[in-house]
Amino acid sequence: MSLSYRQPGVVLTDRRFTVPLDHHNPGGETIELYAREVVAGAKADADLPWLLYLQGGPGFGANRFVGQQAWLGRALEEYRVLLLDQRGTGASTPASRQTLPLRGGPREQADYLTHFRADSIVRDCEAIRPQVTGGAPWTVLGQSFGGFCTVNYLSTAPGGLRAALITGGLPSLGAHADDVYRAAYPRIERKVAAHYARYPQDVERARRIAEYLLQHEPVLNGGYRLTVEAFQSLGILLGGSEGSHRLHFLLEDAFVRTVQGFALSDAFQEEVQGLLSYAAHPLYALVHEAIYGQDERPTAWAAERVRGEFPQFDAAKALTGDGQVLFTGESVHPWMFDTDPALRPLRETADLLAERTDWAPLYDVSRLAANEVPVAAAVYHDDMYVDTAHALETARTIRGLRTWVTDEFEHDGVRASGPRVLERLLALSRDEV
């Protein structure tokens, strides 16, 4: 039974669905999906078209908005919105260090997790769409990895789509994970350079913290082992609209004087643990590189291997001279499964996923070239998370896709811009601009 309740200006309804774990075996094991239906309070009884929101990630549940925050208010002017917790996330059947052992050992866990990529998520959407819309196609808004899912949707089930709106999420159609990260590290370096240009005092602060970590390698209150590589990975903040400022404020109060001398403050350690821990979204770490697997080549910890081609990211070497400590970005490394207590029990499972050579293709280039669904995509210039050149190459492949390339926003533009990004995408998809 669905439960409805109110927040300021909206009516919310909890929706739950049962879908096959493996859509190729519809009579086999099932999992549960959770979604939150949202409609403007004044239109609660109206017959409205549907907009499905696919969150970024992988591994994150849909936004928990209060009222009509961010882009949601614009969407509710004309849509009934479904905020889907993709399989394994949020209130859907979870996949974590606590639940995965129910599958068996690492081999069984890895086999299970092969069903948590974009292709399975899209089949979930098609499985629940008749129950939600009565069979009518819906508009999909895909943010980041949600955009990857949307391109898979266009490749495999375009009949379910009324329109497709993509923000910061046009994937490379054929690049291996190595290619993705080989393009990523120079972008990350540019973001770090821009941060240090804005906050030059952070150059020395980052060096001081890195030196301390190389000497002490503290274990944080929650059990996270703070290595210098983990500290560098805080650079993931630099891909967001407020990220450079957040990183600056974090670094400026890192140390406190104690009876033993200067040490990292409890406040700094607590905030860092919250930023680095994958306890709330372990799927992000587990299947992050698997979302790029499409052939017989293993991903084989691509981000870690490719990082070796960029020695300027070696903090220890930087500290032997007067070099800058470079932060890193959106990448997952095997050492994370040693430093993070939420991931440690899953290290062997992650290694097995990295070794797999049986990934199915995710995108159908010929079908995309014959696309008839209205598609619009926001491409953020020099997006730290998604390569602009890869995105534009994909945009040229999808027939009829209209792009909006902008440097006004970072990767989180659809949230940070309020209604503006969604408004622009809707206008583009309708040939109104």
Of 411, 412, 417, 429, the active-site residue reads 411
Query: Dihedral of the CA atoms 159, 160, 163, 166 (nearest 10)?
Result: -110
Three-class SS state of 377:
strand
Task: Give the strand pairing for 138-143 and 50-54.
Answer: parallel
DSSP letter string, 260-302: TEEEE-HHHHHHHHHHH--TT-HHHHHHTGGGG--SSS---SH
381 is catalytic: no
Residues paired with residue 166 on neighbouring β-strands, in sequence order: 142, 377
Distances (CA, A) of 30 to 23, 44, 96, 154, 179: 9, 31, 17, 25, 35
Q: In whole angstroms, what is the distance from residue 112 CA to residue 349 CA?
A: 10
* Helix/strand/coil for 37: strand
Residue with tokens 């206008």: 427
Active site residue 383: no
Examine the residue annotation and report whether 429 is marked as an active-site residue of this protein.
Answer: no
* Calpha distance 143→380 (Å, rounded): 12
Q: Report whether 251 contacts 237 (CB < 8 A).
A: no
Bridge partners, 35 (sequence order): 15, 84
* Residue tagged active-site, from 45, 47, 322, 358: 358
Q: Residues 96, 120, 144, 155: which is the catalytic one?
A: 144
CA distance 269 to 234: 12
Please list the active-site residues.
144, 358, 411
